[in-house]
Chain A
């Protein structure tokens, strides 16, 4: 657009900087507050800048006494396992399906594609209850008999956190679009040299899919790093398999109690902040280092709409 008079430009910067400060305030507040002890925090609770940074809240997370009940490292490990698994399985399915729907010609292609797309119209709530019942009544596992009674099925065990939601139609769509943007010539040239389909996928397409794969990895990372609802429903009873978001959420208060404030009833906010900082920092680092892929991913989801 055109250049504006300086008053207009000043207004733009005032709004932008002011708005950005509002957006950043909660996070800056939590970050700064996490280095306070309680006394410093309550001296100036609206913006608790510590006179001398206090690392107690972070040091506590490494102590044996603390990790005996609040095992954040195990929860982070569990979360990383889920992230790895869901990137792999969802990515494989999306790449294969994207290839099928873009490069292979067969009767019923559009019908099958619409069948897959149909779940995009259905909100996640609808799957919640029946999928939970499926997990709890899964026949023949977790003490269940073949009619799904007597035990707990997959509830509170690892499979419940890993066997649902493999197919993500958004990624199928994204990969289909990416495949479409690649001319057929590459595959044809490879086939003349005797390459099979798997070989074409691996050696011809995979290098060209890298940007889309990066988008998949970072969005799966964010999604499963933060995943709370499903772990809450199927794994609440087994803290060994808790994921980061669930464990942190459940233990924010317990952690403060271990620190010794249980009797007073006061909640140790700086400690809560420290846990929030630990849970959020990896995502911010990921975002700042791969910002353009995030933007591309968000746009990719919009273009399909």
Chain B
């Protein structure tokens, strides 16, 4: 045998090496997969799964600032959510989410339908509608504040020029809500426009032609062909829009802080524009109450989880109906 000239120690592991090489060749795909996945999964578990689990534990504790020793308070932090101002922040969050999303989706739908007509300069309109989405909310919210600033803001300057009494906008809850909604729609409408337009361009013209042969007019085409075909896209926009809307933060914080950088006063007047995430931020970094903040995060997470799963079930049912 040729192996007889090899020294014993090598002779014993040569077959092993050979076997290992064969094993490696045979299982190349799983080996490579796990070599790549193991570090990713370790990182993912540390920075994505662990925080979620930790957040639940933190929410059951009193934890005054990061360097404090947490103590168990059971449901105390959650019970606080029944007291002012928490119900109001929850209401405001839901209110903003629904109003912004409804306006944004409706406007985006009709703009996309118009853009889908053979219009001249479609790219330019699409660009103008999408560019606000690219801007930083932190910076554009401040630019918007220039308009509503009570101290020589643009709106008041206009009112003065028209010889009307000036309004301290930041003290008017109705107006502040209106401004937050307006700004958010302005910044958020671009994505649904692009999405609707893409979906509309995916509809075969033959479908419309067939319906027109049957004598359908423009509104009927829109109602009975376009809208049903866009249903999956509408659901997608509503789900992602709700998740994003629930986390509205920078806009409210910077538009309602009275032009100064003071988190404590933001969300005003009298918490009328305060939202969940802003309250969580205030709890954690102004009041140093991390347990309370974590409870808010858990509540928000549960609401969104419930919302997403419910929607997916409805969506699934829709598909069954179609089949």
Contacts and interface: CB of A to CB of B under 8 A. Distances in A.
Q: Do A and B bind each other?
A: yes
Interface of A: 1-2, 4, 9, 12-13, 15-16, 19-20, 23-24, 26-27, 30, 42, 45-46, 93, 96-97, 99-100, 104-107, 109, 112, 115-116, 118-119, 121-134, 136-137, 149, 163-167, 197, 222, 225-226, 228-229, 233, 244-246, 248-250, 252-253, 265-267, 269, 272-273, 275-276, 279-280, 283-284, 287-288, 291, 294-295, 298-299, 302, 305
Contacts of A250: 261
Given A128-B297, A305-B240, A45 B154 contact: yes
Nearest to B259: A267
B115 A245 contact: no
A270 to B, nearest CB: 10
Interface string B120-131: 000111111111
Contacts of B115: 16
Contact of B143 (A133, A136, A228, A276): A276
A133 B36 contact: no
Nearest to B46: A134
A225 B67 CA distance: 31
Contacts of B119: 12-13, 16
Interface in B28-69: 28-30, 32-34, 36-37, 40-41, 43-44, 47-52, 54-55, 58, 66-67
B293 A129 contact: yes
Contacts of A302: 195, 198, 233, 236
Contacts of B124: 20
Contacts of A166: 43, 47
Contacts of A291: 123, 126-127
A121 B242 CA distance: 12
Contacts of A97: 36-37, 40
Shortest 4 CB-CB distances between A and B: which pairs? A106-B30, A226-B136, A130-B51, A45-B157
Contacts of A298: 191, 194-195, 198
A272 B55 contact: no
A252 B140 CA distance: 11
B212 A45 contact: no
Interface in B198-223: 198, 205, 208, 212, 218, 221
A252 B250 CA distance: 15
B210 to A, nearest CB: 12
